[in-house]
């Protein structure tokens, strides 16, 4: 088969679920944006301040939900509307659409002349792998019944949407298995990029880290941060919890005097907290877990649940300790594992496997592979045109306008 010529500039579109703050998925999407600097961005809702202006110089198209001005704290209340929002974009005229999806971005509708490749961080967890815990967390039987019905319809919609995607890329073995189980689709793995150059492991080499342990996470119930809080209450060792989210109040209420909450912190503060920590503590089953790689880039070990992405990023007994169970099991792992025996050089070597330059090489290669295998029948001249309906949010200082 004759190799396809890569799409010309102006014929590629990038899609992401929502751009309201900078979490792991948004950092991966930033790297995608670097690879296609001229591609317009499509997202359900957008907050320039919440994303620290990282997309201010890009052509960003938000859906009709933008008029409701959602924020990182309020966007979840619009959950039933996101399928319609993401399907509202008109992406005809693009040769290649690349979606970055942990919920609904993979559901964009493309025409028959477009190749749609979806980079999947995880199928929408609340409707699939985390649905039971989400439902049991609701004490009100009426809201629980409403959610159960919503998630049932969402899974039907999600499966249908997944069949429209030309090819899937997964961020880990865990996500790859879920794509197969939930959508019946094959995928290939491209590990997320990690900015390992942000970290200076010499602090770990010279001083062996500080006294505190660190949790670096969004404070959501499924992250199980309460496991770390209860373990360190028992251990009476210093723990710093960096991050924000709806579980903050509950976690503060059960935290003892050795636990300090610092809220959301900057990249520079993250680097400092990691470099001066004893170790990073991960209590959730992560699909990949960028924070665990960042800790190793800083020369520090990781105590992580021995499931999910940690099996691919943490070398048990060498760059950290893999454990399973609850607070007592974590406390025992921390009490018995010799952090000082961990070689910072082994940690940085492990982190180097996920350097963002590797992502920048691998992702275009995988996309070219899909294009080479796709039918070569494309119009000779394809022009990208503006989406409708929606809102175009262009460079800083311009006003929002309907298109």
Question: Does residue 213 sit in the same domain as residue 336?
Answer: yes
Q: Among 25-39, 204-218, 381-395, whose mean pLDDT is lowest?
A: 381-395
- Residue 1 in domain: no
Pair 150, 263 in one domain: no
3-state secondary structure of 170: strand
Instruction: Please state, in angstroms and rounded to a whole number, the distance separating the CA atoms of residues 382 and 368.
Output: 18
Same domain? For 236 and 311 the reply is yes
Distance CA 298, CA 250 (A): 30
Alpha-helical (H) ranges within 244-289 are: 248-254, 267-275
98 and 178: one domain? yes
275 and 346 together in one domain? yes
What is the rounded CA–CA span in Å between residue 163 and residue 234?
49
Indicate if 126 and 186 belong to the same structural domain: yes
What does the pLDDT read at residue 379?
39
Query: What is the overall mean pLDDT for the chain?
Result: 88
Closest CA to 351 of 279, 304, 296: 296
**7 domain-assigned:** no
What is the value of pTM for the model shown?
A: 0.86
Q: What is the pLDDT of residues 167-206, one digit of tens each?
A: 999 999 999 999 999 999 999 999 999 999 999 988 765 5
**pLDDT tens per residue, range 136-150:** 666 678 777 888 888
Span 274-297, average pLDDT:
96
pLDDT value at position 128? 87
Whether 381 is covered by a domain: the verdict is no
**∠ Cα 373 172 216 (to 5°):** 140
End-to-end CA distance of the chain: 40
pLDDT computed for residue 134 by the predictor: 66
How many CB atoms neighbour CB 378 within 10 A? 17
Per the structure, the complete domain to which residue 60 belongs is given by 12-193+355-375+386-398
* pLDDT of 2 over the 50 cut: no
Q: Is residue 139 part of a domain?
A: yes
The mean pLDDT of 312-318, rounded to a whole number, is: 98
When pLDDT is cut at 50, 70 and 90, the band that residue 65 belongs to is: very high
d(CA 61, CA 326): 43
Residues 87-92, mean pLDDT to the nearest whole number: 94
How far is the C-alpha of 144 from the C-alpha of 64, rounded, in Å?
A: 28
Asked whether residue 4 is assigned to any structural domain, the reply reads no
Query: If you average pLDDT over residues 209-220, what whole number do you get?
Result: 91
**128 closest CA partner among 98, 96, 95, 161:** 161
d(CA 275, CA 300): 7
**pLDDT at residue 402, rounded to an integer:** 31
Tell whether 157 and 243 lie within a shared domain: no
Are 254 and 226 spatial neighbours (Cβ–Cβ below 8 Å)?
yes
> How sure is the predictor about 1, in pLDDT bands with cuts at 50, 70 and 90?
very low
Domain count for the chain, please give it. 2
121 plus 250 within the same structural domain: no
Beta-bridge partners for 61? 42, 392
- Same domain, yes or no: 178 and 288: no
What's the pLDDT at 386?
39
- Claim to verify: residue 84 and residue 220 sit in the same structural domain: no
The answer, yes or no, to whether residue 257 has pLDDT greater than 50, is yes
The answer to whether position 307 is within a domain reads yes
Higher pLDDT, 223 or 1: 223
Give the mean pLDDT of 124-135.
77
> Residues 369, 286: one domain?
no
Within 198-293, strands assigned E span 213-216, 239-242, 259-263, 280-282
What pLDDT was estimated at residue 3?
40
Digit-coded pLDDT (tens) for 339-395: 999 999 999 999 999 999 999 999 999 999 999 987 654 434 333 333 444 555 544
User: Phi and psi of 139, rounded to 5°?
Assistant: -80, -30
Q: Are residues 166 and 204 in the same domain?
A: no
Is the N-terminal amide bond of 133 cis, ω within 30° of 0? no
Please enumerate in sequence order all residues whose Cβ is within 8 A of that of 21, keeping only pairs 6 or more positions apart, or say none: 47, 50, 51, 72
Closest of 181, 190, 10 to residue 117, by C-alpha = 190
Predicted local confidence at residue 387, as pLDDT: 41
CB atoms within 10 A of CB 293: 31
151 pLDDT tier (thresholds 50, 70, 90): confident
Residue 303 lies in a domain: yes
In degrees to the nearest 10, what's the CA dihedral of 138, 141, 145, 150? -30
User: How many residues in total does the chain contain?
Assistant: 403
Domain CATH number, residue 87? 3.40.50.2000
């Amino acid at each position: 088969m004759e190799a396809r010529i890569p799409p010309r500039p102006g014929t590629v579109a990038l899609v992401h679920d929502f751009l309201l703050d900078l979490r792991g998925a948004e950092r991966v999407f930033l790297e995608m944006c670097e690879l296609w600097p001229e591609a317009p961005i499509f997202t359900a809702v957008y907050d320039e301040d919440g994303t620290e202006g990282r997309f201010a110089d890009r052509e960003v198209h938000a859906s009709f939900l933008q008029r409701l001005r959602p924020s990182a704290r309020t966007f979840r209340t619009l959950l039933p509307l996101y399928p319609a929002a993401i399907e509202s974009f008109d992406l005809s005229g693009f040769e290649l659409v690349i979606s970055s999806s942990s919920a609904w971005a993979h559901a964009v509708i493309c025409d028959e002349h477009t190749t749609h490749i979806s980079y999947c961080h995880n199928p929408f967890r609340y409707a699939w792998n985390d649905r039971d815990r989400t439902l049991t967390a609701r004490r009100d039987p009426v809201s629980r019944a409403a959610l159960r019905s919503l998630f049932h319809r969402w899974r039907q919609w999600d499966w249908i949407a997944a069949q429209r995607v030309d090819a899937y890329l997964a961020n880990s073995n865990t996500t790859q298995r879920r794509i197969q189980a939930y959508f019946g689709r094959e995928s290939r793995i491209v590990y997320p990029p990690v900015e390992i150059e942000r970290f200076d492991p010499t602090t770990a080499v010279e001083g062996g880290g500080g006294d505190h342990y660190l949790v670096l996470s969004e404070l959501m119930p499924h992250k199980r941060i309460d496991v770390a809080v209860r373990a360190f209450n028992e251990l009476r060792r210093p723990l710093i919890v960096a991050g924000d989210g709806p579980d903050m109040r509950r976690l503060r209420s059960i935290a003892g005097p050795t636990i300090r909450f610092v809220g959301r912190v900057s990249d520079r503060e993250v680097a400092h907290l990691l470099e001066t920590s004893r170790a990073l503590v991960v209590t959730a089953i992560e699909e990949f877990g960028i924070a665990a790689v960042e800790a190793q880039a800083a020369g520090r070990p990781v105590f992580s649940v021995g499931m999910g992405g940690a099996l691919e990023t943490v070398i048990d007994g060498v760059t950290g300790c893999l454990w399973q169970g609850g607070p007592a099991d974590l406390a025992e792992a921390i009490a018995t594992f010799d952090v000082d025996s961990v070689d910072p050089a082994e940690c940085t070597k492990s982190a180097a496997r996920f350097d963002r330059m590797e992502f920048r090489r691998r992702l275009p290669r995988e996309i070219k592979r899909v294009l080479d295998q796709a039918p070569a029948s494309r119009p000779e001249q394809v022009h990208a045109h503006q989406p409708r309906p929606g809102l175009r949010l262009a460079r800083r200082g311009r006003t929002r306008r309907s298109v």
